[in-house]
C-alpha cells in the first residue's frame, strides 16, 4: 500500500512544485486583474474535467468494470469510442459558439470582457479530448499496477505553461494569455504521449489494437457490460466531483465580485489542492484496487482493516497540513506569490480565502477515502445523492456568505459542503464502524501531536514575521 502511495505522492509533489512555479510566474506576469481572471475562467472548465476524470472518478468505475469484463479489449475500445465522440462533439460546439459557453461560465462578465475571453475559452477546450484519452489509458495502466506515468504526467502540463510564460515575457497581457492557452493544449499532447510510451513499454498496444479491430464484430457481446458501466458512470462522476463543482461555482459567483476575486480564489485553491492531492488523492488511488478486490471476494473485514491503516495515515498528514495552512496562511501566500504585479493587498485578500479553504482539508480528504467503500460496493447512486445534498448546502451558504465575506465566504461555503459530504458518507459506511476505527490510541497521539505542532508554529510565526 505505502509503496503505491509514495509513487503517487512523489509524482504529484513534483507536478505541484512545477505548478507553483507556474503560478508564481503567472502572478508576476498578470497579477490579479481582468486578464488573470480571463485565463483562469478559460482554463476552469477543462481543468474541472481533468480533476473529475484524472483524479479517480473515471477509474473508480472503469477498473472494476474492466476487471469483470470477459472481452476486456473490446469493452475498452467501446468505452473509449463512445466517450471520445461525445467530448469531441462538445469541444467542436464550444469552438463554434465560444461566447455562449463563456457567458455560461462567467455570467458576471461584461459583454466586452466576454468578447475578449471567448477565443481563449475555445483554445483551452481542446485540452478536454486529450485529457480524456490520457485518463482512459491511465485506467488500463493502473489495472496493471503501473501508477508512475499518471502521477508524473501533470508535470508535463506545468512545464508547458512555464515555457509559455517564459516565451511571453515583456509581451502584452492579452498575448500572454494566448501563450498560456496554447501551452495548455501542448501540455495535453505531452501527457497523452507519455501514456502512449508507457503502454508501448508494457506491451499493451497489441491488446488495444485487437479491441478496436474486433469492436464491430463483438460489440453485441459486451452490451450488458457497457450498459452497466454507463449506468454507474454518471452517478460516480457526480458523486466524486463535489469539491470540483463547488470550486467551479466559486468562480461563477466570484465573477460578480470586484476584479481580482476569481484570482484570489484560484491561488488559494491551488494551495489547498496540494495536500489534498498529495495525501488524500494519492492514497485513494493507491488503495482502491485492493479494497475493491477484498469486497469482490466478500472479505469485508480485511477491506476495513486496510482502510483503517489508510485512515490514520491520512488523518495525521491532513491534520498537520490544516494546522500549518491556517497558522501560516499569510506567510505561504507572501512566499509564493507576492512579487511583481501581485502586491501586499492581494496577499491579504488571498490569505483569508486560503484559511477558509484549509478548514475543509480534513473532511474533504477523509471523505475521499470512505467514498471508495461506496464505489467498491457499486453504490454509485448513493454517492450521487450525497454529492447533491452537499452541493445544495454549499449553494445556500455561498449565497448567504458572498455579500458579507466576499470571496472568503465562497471558500467557507465550500468547506461547509465538505463537512456535510463527509457526515453523509460516514452514515452510509456505518457510524458504528467509523467509531470503531477512531477508538484507538492513535486518537490520543493525534491530539497531543496537534497541540504541540500548534504551539511550535505560533512561535515560529512570530519569529518569521520580522522578515515579512
Report which DSSP code applies to 147: -
| Burial grade of 246 (CB within 10 A; 0-12, 13-18, 19 or more) | buried
Q: Strand, coil or helix: what is 71? A: coil
Place of cell 503567472: 26
CA 340 to CA 27: how far, in whole Å?
Answer: 7
CA 56 to CA 282: how far, in whole Å?
Answer: 9
Write the pLDDT tens digit of every residue in 145-172. Answer: 777 888 888 789 999 999 998 998 888 8
The answer to which of 35-49, 239-253, 284-298, 400-414 has the lowest mean pLDDT is 239-253
Which residues 6+ apart lie within 8 Å of 26 measured at CB? 36, 39, 161, 165, 180
449 versus 25: the higher-pLDDT residue is 449
Place of cell 502512449: 196
Mean pLDDT of 173-195: 91
Which residues 6+ apart lie within 8 Å of 350 measured at CB? 32, 264, 267, 268, 333, 337
Dihedral of the CA atoms 218, 221, 225, 226 (nearest 10)?
Answer: 50
Write the pLDDT tens digit of every residue in 372-383. Answer: 888 878 787 888
Q: What is the CA 381 to chain-centroid distance, rounded? A: 21
Q: Strand, coil or helix: what is 86? A: helix
Q: Assess contact for 421 and 386: CB atoms under 8 A.
A: yes
CA 254 to CA 249: how far, in whole Å?
Answer: 8
Write the pLDDT tens digit of every residue in 308-325. Answer: 988 999 999 999 999 999
pLDDT computed for residue 241 by the predictor: 65
**Cβ–Cβ contacts within 10 Å for residue 304, how many?**
19
pTM: 0.72
Question: Residue 304: how many CA atoms within 13 Å on its side-chain side?
Answer: 13
The sign one gets for the Cα dihedral 38, 194, 233, 372 is negative
The three three-digit cell numbers of residue 92, written as one number: 467542436
pLDDT computed for residue 361 by the predictor: 94
- For 83-122, letters b (16+ CB in 10 Å) and e give beeebeeebeebeeebeebbbebbebbeeebbebbbbbbb
CA 392 to CA 151: how far, in whole Å?
Answer: 32
CA 88 to CA 84: how far, in whole Å?
Answer: 6
CA 37 to CA 210: how far, in whole Å?
Answer: 46
The answer to which of 277-281, 335-339, 440-444 has the lowest mean pLDDT is 335-339
Which residues 6+ apart lie within 8 Å of 417 measured at CB? 242, 246, 360, 390, 391, 393, 394, 397
pLDDT computed for residue 420 by the predictor: 93
Place of cell 460516514: 426
Q: Assess contact for 271 and 354: CB atoms under 8 A.
A: yes
- Domain residue spans in the chain? 33-238, 241-468
CA 126 to CA 455: how far, in whole Å?
Answer: 48
CA 225 to CA 80: how far, in whole Å?
Answer: 14
pLDDT computed for residue 193 by the predictor: 94
**Cβ–Cβ contacts within 10 Å for residue 326, how many?**
16
Residue 4 pLDDT > 80, yes or no? Answer: no
Q: What is the CA 157 to chain-centroid distance, rounded? A: 14
The three three-digit cell numbers of residue 6, written as one number: 509514495
Residue 190 pLDDT > 90, yes or no? Answer: yes
Percent of the chain past pLDDT 70, that is, above it, reads 93
Give the chain's mean pLDDT: 84
Amino acid at each position: 500500500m505505502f509503496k503505491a502511495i509514495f509513487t503517487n505522492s512523489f509524482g504529484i509533489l513534483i507536478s505541484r512544485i512545477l505548478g507553483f512555479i507556474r503560478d508564481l510566474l503567472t502572478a508576476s506576469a498578470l497579477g490579479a486583474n481582468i486578464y488573470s481572471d480571463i485565463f483562469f475562467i478559460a482554463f476552469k472548465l477543462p481543468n474541472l474535467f481533468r480533476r473529475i476524470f484524472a483524479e479517480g472518478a473515471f477509474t473508480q468505475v472503469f477498473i472494476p468494470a474492466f476487471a469483470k469484463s470477459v472481452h476486456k479489449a473490446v469493452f475498452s475500445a467501446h468505452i473509449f469510442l463512445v466517450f471520445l465522440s461525445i467530448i469531441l462533439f462538445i469541444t467542436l460546439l464550444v469552438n463554434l459558439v465560444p461566447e455562449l459557453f463563456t457567458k455560461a461560465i462567467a455570467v458576471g462578465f461584461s459583454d466586452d470582457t466576454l468578447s475578449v475571453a471567448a477565443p481563449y475559452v475555445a483554445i483551452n477546450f481542446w485540452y478536454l479530448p486529450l485529457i480524456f484519452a490520457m485518463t482512459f489509458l491511465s485506467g488500463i495502466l493502473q489495472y496493471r499496477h503501473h501508477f508512475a506515468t499518471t502521477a508524473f504526467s501533470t508535470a508535463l502540463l506545468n512545464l508547458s505553461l512555464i515555457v509559455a510564460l517564459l516565451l511571453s515575457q515583456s509581451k502584452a497581457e492579452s498575448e500572454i494569455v494566448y501563450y498560456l492557452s496554447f501551452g495548455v493544449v501542448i501540455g495535453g499532447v505531452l501527457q497523452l504521449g507519455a501514456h502512449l510510451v508507457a503502454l508501448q513499454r508494457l506491451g499493451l498496444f497489441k491488446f488495444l489494437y485487437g479491441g478496436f479491430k474486433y469492436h464491430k464484430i463483438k460489440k453485441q457481446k459486451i452490451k450488458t457490460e457497457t450498459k452497466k458501466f454507463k449506468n454507474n458512470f454518471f452517478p460516480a462522476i457526480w458523486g466524486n466531483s463535489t469539491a470540483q463543482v463547488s470550486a467551479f461555482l466559486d468562480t461563477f459567483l466570484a465573477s460578480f465580485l470586484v476584479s481580482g476575486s476569481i484570482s484570489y480564489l484560484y491561488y488559494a485553491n491551488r494551495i489547498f489542492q496540494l495536500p489534498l492531492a498529495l495525501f488524500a488523492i494519492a492514497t485513494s488511488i493507491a488503495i482502491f484496487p485492493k479494497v475493491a478486490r477484498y469486497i469482490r471476494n466478500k472479505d469485508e473485514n480485511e477491506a476495513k482493516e486496510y482502510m483503517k491503516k489508510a485512515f490514520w495515515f491520512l488523518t495525521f498528514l491532513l491534520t498537520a497540513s490544516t494546522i500549518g495552512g491556517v497558522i501560516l496562511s499569510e506567510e505561504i501566500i507572501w512566499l509564493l506569490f507576492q512579487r511583481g504585479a501581485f502586491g501586499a493587498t492581494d496577499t491579504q485578500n488571498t490569505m483569508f480565502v486560503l484559511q477558509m479553504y484549509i478548514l475543509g482539508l480534513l473532511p474533504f480528504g477523509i471523505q475521499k477515502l470512505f467514498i471508495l467503500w461506496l464505489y467498491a460496493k457499486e453504490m454509485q447512486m448513493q454517492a450521487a445523492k450525497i454529492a447533491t445534498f452537499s452541493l445544495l448546502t454549499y449553494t445556500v451558504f455561498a449565497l448567504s456568505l458572498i455579500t458579507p465575506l466576499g470571496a472568503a465566504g465562497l471558500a467557507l461555503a465550500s468547506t461547509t459542503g465538505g463537512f456535510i459530504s463527509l457526515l453523509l458518507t460516514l452514515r452510509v459506511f456505518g457510524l458504528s464502524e467509523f467509531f470503531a476505527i477512531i477508538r484507538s490510541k492513535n486518537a490520543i497521539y493525534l491530539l497531543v501531536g496537534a497541540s504541540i505542532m500548534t504551539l511550535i508554529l505560533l512561535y515560529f510565526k512570530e519569529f518569521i514575521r520580522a522578515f515579512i
